[in-house]
Amino acid sequence: ITKCIEENGGTTLALRKQCAARAFSLSASYDSAIANWFTNQLGEEKPVTTRVYKPEFPLKYGCNPHQKPAGISSVLNSKLPFDVINGVPGYINLLDAANAWQLVKELREATGLASAASFKHVSPAGAAVAVPLSDVECAAYEVTPEAAKELTPVALAYLRARNADPMCSFGDFAAVSDVVDEATALILKKEVSDGIIAPGYTAEAIEILKKKKGGKFIILEATKDYDPGEIEYREVYGMTFSQKRNDKIISKEHMKEVVTADKDVVTDAVVRDMIVASICIKYTQSNSVGFAKDGMMVGVGAGQQSRVDCVKLAGRKVDTWYIRQHPKVLGLKFKAGTKRQDRVNARVRYIEGDFTAEEKTRWEAQFEEIPEPLTSSEKEEFMKAASGVTISSDAFFPFRDSIDHASKHGVSFVVQPGGSVQDTQVTSACEEYSMAMCFTGVRLFHH
């Protein structure tokens, strides 16, 4: 103000407007705080809800390039749940980061293990906790057994999360529960990824990640002990929705009601997989189901109107995950210089096998020698050995058809809220397939 007066002999109209806006915003926020305190004493009878937002920074655009202007705001007198360390996050990046961070934070709390998630379009492509890799998994994920032994827990968790569905994880937003170390940063360095959110970073990790994407890789540091508040709000088409935040953390306590006959088969490792799958689908667009094995998601089915369609969608991903470990897939001989993601995509297409003539010509050009086809009978025979998979559903199974279909994908364990009039029928189906099933009593719709 002083500088303006010195340069102009007084204040300008523009400056006076700016000062007036700030003054009235300050008084309005003060009045809002008082009004909120009094109305909160009235509970559901409160006549008005006031919320004041502070614009933090603009966004390039919203969900789509034509959705301008766009920006991110905090609730007045509160921080954002993260600090931007590097890069310029976009609208969808931040939605992914907010959901992914909650997922890994809750997984860490529920399992005590380092956790990671790989998000795309506000649903997880994969999620995992730190469980050692088998030799065949090392081969499928392109990591040597010797290198796998050197992985830190957080690096191991992200490696698993990324390899749940590496085709869908292309261009993901990552989240990890622990401080990002050099080992984790080196894994991210190899992958096509937009950004990461974590509770912190070592100096070595920051140096590696800041060079990624020509310096544009997004690095967010989660705010320690952030309190998002008990009630959350959302504006849609001129309406403001409010609800209690879904702060229910799924834990081993929710896996105690085993409703099938053989209760001893629900071991600690099975409970861990039930927790991984259930927390993953808590942050997946509904309807959703998720399959987990050995501490990682191996198939996520999101956003389907029919629950059995979720099972079919995720089940196809489970088969692909398993068959990536088939000797023929592991033995594919790529030409030198074939990019990592091209190898990932080529393996998946080899498994699927439904090439057009033009596509097959281009696909074959990636190999030193044209691979023999992987036949349907070979895939079916390989999948017969699949077992020990857990399926979790965000709401009850309304019919046994989901169980019938899940039996084709190595499912041995089922976890769901229960509460359907068809619970008896679904339980009987599990018994027929020698599956153990738990009822959690907690629905996990996410929209």
Does residue 47 sit in helix, strand or coil?
coil
Tell me if 308 sits within 8 A of 152, measured CB to CB: no
pLDDT confidence bin for 22, thresholds 50/70/90? confident
Q: What is the pLDDT of residue 44?
A: 66
Please say if 446 is a catalytic residue.
no
- Catalytic residue (one of 287, 326, 379, 405): 287
Please say if 326 is a catalytic residue.
no
d(CA 364, CA 152): 37
Q: What is the pLDDT of residue 21?
A: 83
Strands 193-198 vs 411-416: parallel, antiparallel or unpaired: unpaired
Region 354-362: what's the mean pLDDT? 95
The token pair that represents 213 in the structure block: 């994407």
Tell me if 249 sits within 8 A of 440, measured CB to CB: no
Q: Note the pLDDT tens digit of each residue in 55-75.
A: 999 999 999 999 999 999 998
Q: Note the pLDDT tens digit of each residue in 370-394.
A: 999 999 999 999 999 999 999 999 9
pLDDT confidence bin for 128, thresholds 50/70/90? very high
Strands 115-120 vs 82-86: parallel, antiparallel or unpaired: unpaired
Kindly tell me the sign of the dihedral angle through the C-alpha atoms of 397, 401, 405, 410: positive
Helix, strand, coil % (nearest 5) of the chain? 40, 20, 35
Tell me if 375 sits within 8 A of 400, measured CB to CB: no
Q: What is the pLDDT of residue 86?
A: 96
The token pair that represents 99 in the structure block: 């959901």
Q: Note the pLDDT tens digit of each residue in 399-433.
A: 999 999 999 999 999 999 999 999 999 999 999 99
Q: Note the pLDDT tens digit of each residue in 424-437.
A: 999 999 999 999 99
Q: What is the pLDDT of residue 10?
A: 85
Q: What is the pLDDT of residue 13?
A: 87
Q: Is the model's pLDDT at 47 over the cut of 80?
A: no
Q: Is the model's pLDDT at 159 over the cut of 90?
A: yes
Q: What is the pLDDT of residue 385?
A: 93
Please say if 36 is a catalytic residue.
no
Q: Is the model's pLDDT at 29 over the cut of 80?
A: no
Q: What is the pLDDT of residue 393?
A: 96
Residue 5 to residues 1, 10, 20, Cα–Cα distance (Å)? 6, 4, 17
Indicate the range of 19-33, 219-233, 335-349 predicted with least confidence: 19-33
- Catalytic residue (one of 121, 210, 360, 408): 121
- Catalytic residue (one of 86, 99, 105, 120): 120
d(CA 296, CA 276): 7
Tell me if 154 sits within 8 A of 179, measured CB to CB: yes
Q: Note the pLDDT tens digit of each residue in 265-324.
A: 999 999 999 999 999 999 999 999 999 999 999 999 999 999 999 999 999 999 999 999
Q: What pTM was computed for the model?
A: 0.91
Average pLDDT, the chain: 93
- Catalytic residue (one of 66, 224, 384, 447): 447
d(CA 363, CA 190): 22
Q: Is the model's pLDDT at 194 over the cut of 80?
A: yes
